[in-house]
Chains A and B, each alone.
Chain A
Amino acid sequence: MKSITKQKPFDEIKQQLDRFDRVYIIGCGTCATMTKTGGKEEVLDMKKRLEELDKLVTGWTVIPTACDEMTEVAIREVDGAIRNVNCILVTACALGVHRVSLYIEKPVIPALDTLFIGIEDSPGYFHEVCAQCGQCIMGETASICPLTACHKGLLNGPCGGTNNGKCEVDKEKDCAWTLIYQRLRDQGRLDLMRKYHPPKNYQVMPRPKIIKLT
């Protein structure tokens, strides 16, 4: 699992930090490092840009995996540098922001937008495979999730907008249902294209999603 992020427009970060002049920066050594949005290099770049705005950056750290519970220990270790700041700027995904906020009673500001949970196809190219709907149908759709890979999330075949295997909203993107068709055909399972998928249950797990797994 990788949380795919991109940096917020700097003007937005600037506006959110408007009332704070002493800032500590926390990056993440896992997903945000891999996406080059919140690792050491990006944290140092952010530090430089904040200093150009006359902010005092009292320090920075890159926590190995910002979303896990070891973050508490990592934050305790840098307690001295954090004590006197007005806010923490986090260059991690929203899970990291959440985790950091559990251990620091100061405003925690995200520097990144969390886009999706995805995988890296080739260096720098990421794509969403699963929308985490809680009711997987990939067994019947040749391991391609139409809810995720089709722009409209259609469950019963392609819309009329598809053209030459591409999506009506973006000629660079594949039509999920054309891919599903081709793979099912090659697997000799085209009958599954004719199987009716009823309206989706959007309450498989009502929000807020909290579960105790034994």
Chain B
Amino acid sequence: MASNFKQLLNSGKFVITSEISPPKGTNIEKMLHHIDLLKDKVDALNVTDHQSSVMHFPSLGGCQVIEERGGEPILQMTCRDRNRIALQAELLLAYTRGIRNVLCLTGDAVVVGDHKEAKGVFDLDSVQLLRTIRQMELGKDLGGNNLDGTIEFCAGAIVTPEARPIEPQLIKFENKVEAGAEFFQTQAIYDLDNFAKFMQNARQFPVKILAGIVLLSSARMAKYMAENVPGIFVPQYLIDELASAPKGGALNKGIEIAGRMITSLKKEALCDGVHIMAIGREEVVPDILEAAGLPSRVMA
């Protein structure tokens, strides 16, 4: 069984993905609620892998739930916490549980998270992980041994279109394409002119690009992101726009901004879809879709 998500990517449709953040603990009610809320409204759902190096319920666990409930999961896999043996084993497990999409990431540094003294593994990097998947699909593990039953994944990666300097990131992007990445979900973008420039270059490669849309929930949050999150540049006019919202209306303004950006991206056919990251406010993703004028969708 091939990936439904892959078929959608190749169908030429403007693809919408979003993401689920698993809980810190065993209370998965909220996660289940978010999955049920979003699984039929977007084309696929990422599950984050200890995002920001903060220990959580695992990505694989969240993906299994999505799959069981009829959604299309994208397994986020960082190289921070597992060596090559553990990563390969997890790919085997994911495949047997019906998971068909993997997003390969290096992973944030351990020291930005909540277990600052832990050992950062990074036995593989994102490029090597992509190649590992391709090698395992051919029936061999990284040790060169035969697999009894192989895997098949739609493998993706990330790229930061607003990184400065951009050149080393673009080379890495090409290295990921070369390694077998089929789709990219970008870091948050806000400057559409800059993104258009990035896309002009990216279009020459046979990959699908989903623009990262991070919901700005307040002027303060936007300013914090602009100043503290590497590779994210929030233009001042957006911060001003959020600040101008009436008291208690910043979130709605943020939803409006996100919707507006998605509309522009789709209208100008700048990219192949969007990846919506609502960071803790997953319940408003349907509102963003509505603001973007996108019909609620049901999985094919």
Contacts and interface: CB of A to CB of B under 8 A. Distances in A.
A158 B167 CA distance: 11
Counting chain B CB atoms within 10 Å of each CB, which of A158, A160, A199 scores highest? A160
B230 A194 contact: no
Interface stretch (B21-29, B30-38, B103-111, B250-258): B103-111
Interface stretch (A78-86, A91-99, A162-170): A162-170
Nearest to A200: B123
Interface string B85-123: 000000000000000000000111101100000001011
A168 B171 contact: no
Interface stretch (B6-14, B158-166, B273-281): B158-166
Contact of B165 (A151, A165, A197, A200): A165
Contact of A152 (B120, B142, B158): B120
Given A161-B109, A194-B171, A199 B142 contact: yes
A49 B178 CA distance: 61
Contact of B111 (A160, A169, A190): A169
Contacts of B175: 156-157, 193-194, 196
22 contacts: A152-B106, A152-B107, A152-B120, A152-B125, A155-B125, A156-B172, A157-B172, A157-B175, A158-B168, A158-B169, A160-B159, A160-B160, A161-B109, A162-B163, A162-B169, A163-B164, A164-B164, A168-B108, A169-B111, A193-B175, A196-B179, A199-B124
A163 B127 CA distance: 20
A168 B106 contact: no
A124 B259 CA distance: 53
B174 to A, nearest CB: 7
A181 B169 CA distance: 10
A7 B158 CA distance: 42
B187 interface: yes
B84 interface: yes
Contacts of B62: none
Contacts of A169: 109, 111-112
Contacts of B125: 152, 154-156
Nearest to A179: B168
A145 B136 CA distance: 29
A114 B274 CA distance: 49
A198 B108 contact: no
A118 B197 CA distance: 42
A156 B127 contact: yes
Contacts of A178: 165, 168
B263 interface: no
Contact of A151 (B84, B109, B168): B109
A59 B178 CA distance: 65
Contacts of B167: 181, 185
A53 interface: no
B106 to A, nearest CB: 5
B291 to A, nearest CB: 27
Contacts of A200: 123
Interface in B144-185: 158-160, 163-165, 167-169, 171-172, 174-175, 178-179
A153 interface: yes
A163 B228 CA distance: 10
Interface string B31-55: 0000000000000000000000000
B160 to A, nearest CB: 4
A200 B122 CA distance: 10
Given A153-B122, A168-B112, A160 B187 contact: yes
A177 interface: yes
Interface string B238-261: 000000000000000000000000
Interface in A139-191: 151-165, 168-169, 177-178, 181, 185, 190
B106 A160 contact: yes
A194 B128 contact: no
Contacts of B107: 152
A159 B158 CA distance: 10
